[in-house]
Amino acid sequence: MPSVRDMDNSQGHAGHAPAPGVCEPAQVRYPRKRRENWPFRFYEERGRMYENIVPRQKKSSPDDVGDALL
């Protein structure tokens, strides 16, 4: 197959410059701030973005659990 080009040597397509490096999105972290009765994870207030957190719920201990219903 003489018309097949070898692309394994990282030359890429003819006429295209290689990428200067890997472009990764920035790790965006929003300050956490609880907003009661807000169903969405993110919200904006006074031009800043916040992450709406849900308070952790404590697991019930085995002493609090009653008998199983039959």
More confident of the two residues 36 and 14? 36
Burial class of 39 by CB neighbour count within 10 A (0 to 12, 13 to 18, 19+)? exposed
pTM of the model: 0.41
pLDDT tens track for 22-68: 677 667 778 888 888 888 888 898 888 898 888 787 776 777 677 77
Q: Is 11 helix (H, G, I), strand (E, B) or coil?
A: coil
